[in-house]
Chains A and B, each alone.
Chain A
Amino acid sequence: AAGVIQSPRHLIKEKRETATLKCYPIPRHDTVYWYQQGPGQDPQFLISFYEKMQSDKGSIPDRFSAQQFSDYHSELNMSSLELGDSALYFCASSNSQDQETQYFGPGTRLLVL
C-alpha cells in the first residue's frame, strides 16, 4: 500500500539559510499534518491543512510557513534557520472520511550547522 512520502530524507543547512520540506500524502487523503521531533523527544504538532486550507496551528515558529497544494501535497518552508531547528520533521496524512487515523511518513532529518 502507498504510504506518505517525504523529501528530502536528509537535509543539511547552515544558520540563517532556508529549507523547504515536501510531503506527498497517501492517495485520497485530504488532510496533512506536520510534526517536529527533537532528539529524544516526542513529536510536537506544528500545523495541519484540510482541503488546502490551514485547519489548525500548533507550536510553529513565525519563521516557518506551510501550504497545501491542489494535488494535496504540502510544503513546509523554514527560513532564518537556527541550530535549534535541527530535528526530525514528520508529515502525516489522513482521510477526513475515515475517522482520525493519521499515517506518518518516514520523516526528513534536518541538521542546521
Chain B
Amino acid sequence: GESVGLHLPTLSVQEGDNSIINCAYSNSASDYFIWYKQESGKGPQFIIDIRSNMDKRQGQRVTVLLNKTVKHLSLQIAATQPGDSAVYFCAETLPNRDDKIIFGKGTRLHILP
C-alpha cells in the first residue's frame, strides 16, 4: 500500500505486506529528516533519520528514501505487523536549527488482518 501522507491521512495495509508512507516537505534548505511513530496516547517515537547528503538509509524493517529534487521523503516498512499500527510523522530541521523539529501532517497506518 502507498499513501501521500499529506493528502491521505489514513493508509490500510494487509498484515505481512509492505507499507509505503510518503511525505512532501516544504523547505529546500532542510538538511535533516526524521520519521516518528506515534501510538495512541504516547509520545512520538524516533524510527529512523536521514541527512540530506544521502538518498537512502535502512534500519530494521524500515527504509527511508529521500528525493531532494522533488522534496519527497518516504518510509517503507517491510512485512507490516499489527504492532506497526500508529500515526507516522515525517519531520525536518533546517541547517543550524536542529533544536526545532518541524513536523509534517501524520499518516495513520491501519493493519488489516
Tell me if A104 counts as interface (CB < 8 A to partner B).
Answer: yes
Tell me if B113 counts as interface (CB < 8 A to partner A).
Answer: no
Number of interface residues of A (CB under 8 A): 24
Chain B contact residues: over half helix, strand or loop, or mixed?
strand
Q: Which of chain A's residues have a CB closer than 8 A to the CB of B61?
A: none
B26 → chain A closest CB, angstroms: 13
* CB-CB under 8 A for A90 and B89, given A45-B100, A56-B99, A100-B32: no
Decide: B99 and A104 in contact? CB cutoff 8 A: no
Q: Which of chain B's residues have a CB closer than 8 A to the CB of A4?
A: 43
Within 8 A of B (CB), among A28-44: 31, 33, 35, 42-44
* CB-CB under 8 A for A48 and B100, given A42-B106, A102-B46: yes
Q: Which of chain A's residues have a CB closer than 8 A to the CB of B98?
A: 99-100
Complex Cα gap A43–B42 (Å): 12
Chain A contact residues: over half helix, strand or loop, or mixed?
strand
B10 → chain A closest CB, angstroms: 12
Complex Cα gap A43–B102 (Å): 8
Within 8 A of A (CB), among B21-60: 32, 34, 36, 41-46, 49
* CB-CB under 8 A for A42 and B101, given A100-B32, A102-B46, A103-B46: no
Q: Which of chain B's residues have a CB closer than 8 A to the CB of A100?
A: 32, 49, 93, 98
Tell me if B105 counts as interface (CB < 8 A to partner A).
Answer: yes
Q: Which residue of A lies closest to B49 (CB)?
A: A101
Within 8 A of A (CB), among B52-99: 89, 93, 97-99
